[in-house]
Amino acid sequence: MTSDQVRDYKLLGILKRQFPKVPLLGLTATATSSVLKDCEKILCVKQPITLTASFNRTNLYYEVRIKGSDDASKNDIASLIKNRYKNQSGIVYVFSQKDAESLSSELQQRDILAYPYHANMDPDDKSRVHRKWTSNKIQVVVATVAFGMGIDKPDVRFVIHHTISKSIENYYQESGRAGRDDSQADCIVYFGFSDIFRISTMVVMENVGQQKLKQMVDYCQNIDRCRRSLMAVHFDEVWDDEGCHQMCDTCRHVKDFTTVDITGHARQVVQIVELASSMDEKLTPLKLVEAWIGKGPAKRRKMIQTTTLSRLQAEAVVVRLLLQEYLREDFSFTPYTTYFYVKLGRKAPLLKSQTHTVSMKMETTGTGSAVVKAVSGQGKAKEGKRSVQSAGDAPVSKKVKTQLP
- What does the pLDDT look like over 214-225, one tens digit per residue? 999 999 999 889
- In the sheet with 359-364, reading across from the earlier edge strand, the strands are 257-261, 359-364, 370-371
Does the structure show a pLDDT above 80 at 181?
Answer: yes
Question: Any residues with CB less than 8 A from the CB of 159 and at least 6 apart, and which?
Answer: 90, 91, 92, 93, 174, 175, 177, 178, 185, 186, 187, 188
pLDDT of residue 188: 98
Which of 66-80, 262-276, 285-299, 373-387 ranks highest by mean pLDDT?
A: 262-276
Mean pLDDT across 288-316: 87
Sequence ranges of the chain with CATH classification 3.40.50.300: 60-252
CA distance 93 to 173: 12
Q: What is the pLDDT of residue 396?
A: 39
Model confidence pLDDT, tens digit, residues 104-142: 999 999 999 999 999 999 999 999 999 999 999 999 999
258-371 belongs to CATH 1.10.10.10: yes
What are the angstrom distances between the C-alpha of 196 and each of 316, 386, 390? 12, 11, 10
Angle between helices 193-202 and 285-292 (to 10 degrees): 150
Task: Give the integer Cα–Cα distance in Å for 24 and 18.
Answer: 12
Count CA atoms closer than 13 A to 341's CA, side-chain side: 13
**Model pTM score:** 0.84
- Strand duo 185-191 + 60-66: pairing: parallel
- The whole-number pLDDT of residue 232 equals 93
Evaluate if residue 375 carries a pLDDT over 70. Answer: no
The CATH number corresponding to 60-252 among 3.40.50.300, 3.30.560.10, 3.40.720.10, 1.10.3720.10 equals 3.40.50.300
* Res 5 pLDDT > 70: no
Residue-level pLDDT at 363: 75
Cα(351)–Cα(270) distance, integer angstroms:
9
pLDDT top residue among 253 and 94: 94
Residue 393 — pLDDT band, cuts 50, 70, 90? very low
Whole-number pLDDT of residue 8: 65
Residue 373 makes CB contacts below 8 A (sequence gap 6+) with 66, 223, 312, 313, 316, 362, 363
pLDDT class for 240, splitting at 50, 70, 90?
very high
Higher pLDDT pick, 166 / 32: 166
The pLDDT score that the predictor gives to residue 405 is: 53
Residue 3 confidence (pLDDT): 55
Sign for the pseudo-dihedral over CA of 248, 249, 252, 255: negative
Q: Phi and psi dihedrals of 231, rounded to 5?
A: -70, -40
pLDDT in the model for residue 390 = 36
* Statement: residue 370 has pLDDT above 60: no
Q: Give Cα 174 distance to the centre of its chain.
A: 11
Tell me the C-alpha distance between 165 and 77, whole Å: 17
Mean pLDDT score, 186-210: 94
pLDDT above 90 coverage of the chain, percent: 63
Whether the CA torsion 22, 23, 27, 31 is positive or negative: it is positive
Is 75 in a helix, a strand, or coil? Answer: helix
Scored b (16 or more CB within 10 A) or e, 263-278 reads eebbbbbbebbeebee
The residues of the chain that CATH labels 1.10.10.10 are 258-371
Which residues have C-beta within 8 Å of that of residue 110, sequence separation ≥ 6?
Answer: 78, 82
